[in-house]
Amino acid sequence: THLELGRFAQIASTDLKAPLYGMIADVEILKSHFANQTYDLAQPVLEVLSQGAKRLDALMHALWQYASLSGQALQYERIATSTLIEDLARDLLAYRRPLLVGELPDIYADPRQIRQLFYHLLHNALKFSPDDTPLHIYAHIRPGKNKVVFCLADQGPGIPEELLEHVFLIFQKGLQQEQQGVGLGLAICKKIVLNHQGKIWIESAEGQGCKVYVQLPLSPPEQA
């Protein structure tokens, strides 16, 4: 069940951190020790160990994020989504990739969760699209329904139609399995959107990029 998964993730992400961080530190010490020595096999093996430990750390952090979204009371605040996207773009893109931003409305939602949502969406789009292509985010308000639909479009390899229904499951990585990541980003996004009584879906075809749509209420439930 989701409750059992959440409990497991919380235990795994806390109780395993100390020994894992100790292992990462030990590997880095060994890498420094062998840096100037002629052990041909030492550095590659230590690098594999280091990358594996860091990947496990990323997995535990993502599991903790996913688990923390269950049973959590939302703290509604007004969010300037255009400012939020600018902040995330500054951190993630570092001005190396063009991001075309349309007019984005303010919404009332949980700031921490909405930041996580757009972080994972932008991060995914960056991973799966060529470095010289822009990302595009825009929104439209659904008249009379108190809802807004955001769309993030990229020019990546796209997702085959038969995989679209699976991409929001945990540990799914879509088309390019060799890409870095732990397969939890879109699962976290879906959980956040459902927490806000919204919807999330993807329109894509292999070789034609992706459009990720997120529908959210413009105001808290009691004001809707």
Report whether 103 contacts 139 (CB < 8 A): yes
User: Are residues 99 and 47 located together in one domain of the fold?
Assistant: no
User: Are residues 88 and 131 located together in one domain of the fold?
Assistant: yes
Report whether 218 contacts 148 (CB < 8 A): yes
User: Are residues 114 and 172 located together in one domain of the fold?
Assistant: yes
User: Are residues 59 and 149 located together in one domain of the fold?
Assistant: no
Write out the residue range of the structural domain in which residue 30 sits. Answer: 2-68
How far is CA 35 from its chain centroid?
Answer: 35
User: Are residues 38 and 106 located together in one domain of the fold?
Assistant: no
Domain-terminating residue out of 24, 51, 68: 68
> 82 by DSSP, 3-state: which?
helix
When divided into structural domains, the chain yields a total of: 2
**What token pair was written down for 148?**
């807004």
| pTM of the predicted structure, to 2 decimals | 0.72
User: Are residues 95 and 138 located together in one domain of the fold?
Assistant: yes
Dihedral, CA atoms, 213, 218, 222, 224, nearest 10 degrees?
Answer: -90
Angle at 58 between CA 47 and CA 46, to 5 degrees: 10
User: Are residues 137 and 190 located together in one domain of the fold?
Assistant: yes
- Among 15-24, 97-106, 144-153, the least confident range: 15-24
User: Are residues 133 and 43 located together in one domain of the fold?
Assistant: no
Distance CA 163, CA 168 (A): 10
137 residue type, one letter: I
Report whether 116 contacts 65 (CB < 8 A): yes
- Work out the pLDDT band at 3, boundaries 50, 70, 90: low
User: Are residues 82 and 64 located together in one domain of the fold?
Assistant: no
Q: What tens digit of pLDDT does each residue of 108-139 get?
A: 999 999 999 999 999 888 888 888 888 999 99
